[in-house]
Amino acid sequence: MFRIARYSSLAAALLLMVVGASVALFIDRGASTAFGQVIDNIKKATSVSVTSKQKRVIADAVGRISEQPTIELTFYLGGDFMRMEMPGKQETGDAKIPLLMAIVIDGKTKDVVQVDYANKTAQKFKLDDKRAKQFNNPVEELTKLTGKDAELVGDEDLGGRKTRLYRLKDLHGAFGIVDKVDDGKLWVDRETGLPAKLAIQTNNSPDGKMKITTSITIDDFKWNEHFKEDFFKLTIPEGFKVSEGNAGANLEKTSEASAAPFPFSLVVDNVKKATSVTCTIKSGFGSMPKMEIKYYVQGDLMRMEIPGKQEGHDAKMPFTQVVVFDLGAKKSAAIDFVSKTFTTVSMAGRPDEQMADPIDTLVHLADKDVERIDAEMLHGRKTRAYKLLRVDVGGEQHTLKEDERAKLWVDAESGLPVRLEAELLPPGGDGKTKSSVAMEDLQWNKPLDPGLFKLEAPEGFKVIDGNMQPDGADRSEPSK
């Protein structure tokens, strides 16, 4: 869940990069505006609003590309107030509502109001002093940059507007948004001496293999506009669930994750575009020992492994059973290492949900099926956490009851799930004993060994044709 400190980490960063770049300008007074005048103009500004569009492109270790949809946000700053809006119409789709979310912060009183229109929830809280002090007035931050951080390119027409174009060299990791600007451009209006557009591209490799390219475009600058008196008073619609309290502890977790808001449909879109995934699922019922299964999924291929060592038993072998599915060819094979048999079965004619991989549970979710909880650190990983309101159980949509729970953690960098936990009351049960499942160690878009999906019997295993035989004859034969 997105939080704000002072002007909000994202809002402050975006706006500070805009104004920060302005300080780095050495502009000839005769041609446009002197550097000192640019600073004075920004300091004297009574308000500013901008539109921000951010897009990420992720390339895995082997160069496969995954593009995330563009996220659009609008920011309004006036005096001690900041308002951020996420429009309902995004690249991922149209939510058919004007806004997905709106946040207002009073920098003087540290009061924050956040309204989530998609989930019909709202939060009111105060920022603690420790957190708020980490986000100073953006104008004060400008003086830390120098003219060495920008290079004059020349005059450029920007949609009929006369501007001066500057190439940015570095922003010194301002406010944790970027460590280095790989390609940055700033357009300054020659008449007003104020920023008109900013375009930045940065590259990051969190694990040394995956490359994340982030493009941020900030435009539609409107300086010194008059906002209505009640513009920074966010009204919570009737019927919305409201929570209140001091968000200091939660804010600390969010600041660790540096997580900006985005619609959950973006997560679903990332899952759909994924080329492969591996995960471990641990499931149980009541007090019974949990069963562990390892999954490998790549395209139409899926492999399930049941390790020999389970919570309640150790078979003293790597696997007790392995099942391989070729969903495209409608074929499958089960390798039983206990009985040393290899059973082939055709899946033609079977309903698709009987062959669905566990990740399909996520594909069927929508924004209305989740509720943002907070940003969290999960085993040293920056994540966003969601409460699931509905899940897919055996191909059937199940709305969670009051005593059921399901939680999903999504990586803050890649926008892909990293863990899922659920406790549900199974259909036909006693209404008290719950089944539990934990999907963990999710690894996305990594090349998988083709040998994992071979429908071949190990040497010495008995081959069994598991398809229905008219005469019930055993057509098994030992593998060669």
Cβ atoms within 10 Å, residue 68: 23
On the 0-12 / 13-18 / 19+ scale of CB atoms within 10 A, 182 is: middle
C-alpha–C-alpha distance, residues 39 and 20, integer Å:
9
Residue 362 lies in a domain: yes
Residue 475 lies in a domain: no
Residue 327 lies in a domain: yes
Residues 6+ apart with CB under 8 A from 333: 323, 324, 342, 343, 344, 345, 455, 457
Instruction: Please say if the pLDDT value at position 306 is more than 60.
Output: yes
Same domain, 289 and 231: no
- Residue span of the structural domain in which 184 resides: 9-255
Same domain, 65 and 139: yes
What pLDDT, on the 0 to 100 scale, is given for residue 248?
35
C-alpha–C-alpha distance, residues 328 and 345, integer Å:
14
What pLDDT, on the 0 to 100 scale, is given for residue 420?
92
| CATH classification at residue 361 | 2.50.20.20
Same domain, 162 and 242: yes
| CATH classification at residue 40 | 2.50.20.10
Same domain, 14 and 159: yes
Same domain, 200 and 283: no
Residue 260 lies in a domain: no
Is the pLDDT higher at 150 or at 476?
A: 150
What pLDDT, on the 0 to 100 scale, is given for residue 132?
55
Q: What is the mean pLDDT of the chain?
A: 75
User: Tell me: the pLDDT tens digits for 363-383?
Assistant: 878 778 888 887 788 888 888
- Final residue belonging to a domain, choices 199, 220, 255: 255
Same domain, 241 and 339: no
Residue 144 lies in a domain: yes
DSSP bridge partners of 157: 162
Phi, psi of 269 (to 5 degrees): -65, -40
Residues 6+ apart with CB under 8 A from 137: none
User: Tell me: the pLDDT tens digits for 100-120?
Assistant: 889 888 888 888 888 988 888
Same domain, 245 and 293: no
Same domain, 232 and 343: no
Is the pLDDT higher at 467 or at 73?
A: 73
Instruction: Please say if the pLDDT value at position 298 is more than 50.
Output: yes
Of 238-242, 275-279, 419-423, 430-434, the range with the lowest mean pLDDT is 430-434
Instruction: Please say if the pLDDT value at position 229 is more than 80.
Output: no
Is the pLDDT higher at 101 or at 229?
A: 101
Query: Which token pair is 149?
Result: 């951080």
Same domain, 56 and 169: yes
What pLDDT, on the 0 to 100 scale, is given for residue 31?
35
Same domain, 289 and 154: no
User: Tell me: the pLDDT tens digits for 39-72?
Assistant: 677 778 888 888 988 888 877 666 667 777 788 9
Same domain, 274 and 248: no
Residue 473 lies in a domain: no
Q: Are 177 and 65 in contact (CB under 8 A)?
A: no
Q: Are 401 and 434 in contact (CB under 8 A)?
A: no
- Final residue belonging to a domain, choices 209, 225, 255: 255
Same domain, 235 and 373: no
3-state secondary structure the chain: CCCCCCCCHHHHHHHHHHHHHHHCCCCCCCCCCCHHHHHHHHHHCCEEEEEEEEEEEEECCCCCEEECCCEEEEEEEECCEEEEEEEEEECCEEEEEEEEEEEEEECCCCEEEEEECCCCEEEEEECCHHHHCCCCCHHHHHCCCCHHHEEEEEEEEECCEEEEEEEECCCCCHHHCCCCCCEEEEEEECCCCCEEEEEEEEEECCCCCCEEEEEEEEEEEEECCCCCCCCCCCCCCCCCEEEEEECHHHHHHHHHHCCCCCCHHHHHHHHHHCCEEEEEEEEEECCCCCEEEEEEEECCEEEEEEEEEECCEEEEEEEEEEEEEECCCCEEEEEECCCCEEEEEECCCCCHHHHCCCCHHHHCCCHHHEEEEEEEEECCEEEEEEEECEEEECCEEEECCCCCEEEEEEECCCCCEEEEEEEECCCCCCCCCCEEEEEEEEEECCCCCHHHHCCCCCCCCEEEECCCCCCCCCCCEECC
User: Tell me: the pLDDT tens digits for 444-476?
Assistant: 988 899 999 998 999 999 999 876 444 444 444
What pLDDT, on the 0 to 100 scale, is given for residue 61?
66
C-alpha–C-alpha distance, residues 50 and 28, integer Å:
26
User: Tell me: the pLDDT tens digits for 337-357?
Assistant: 999 999 988 876 554 444 456
**Total domains present in the chain:** 2
Nearest residue to 194 (alpha-carbon basis) of 155, 157, 222 = 222
With 0.85 as the threshold, say if the pTM is over it: no
Instruction: Please say if the pLDDT value at position 250 is more than 70.
Output: no
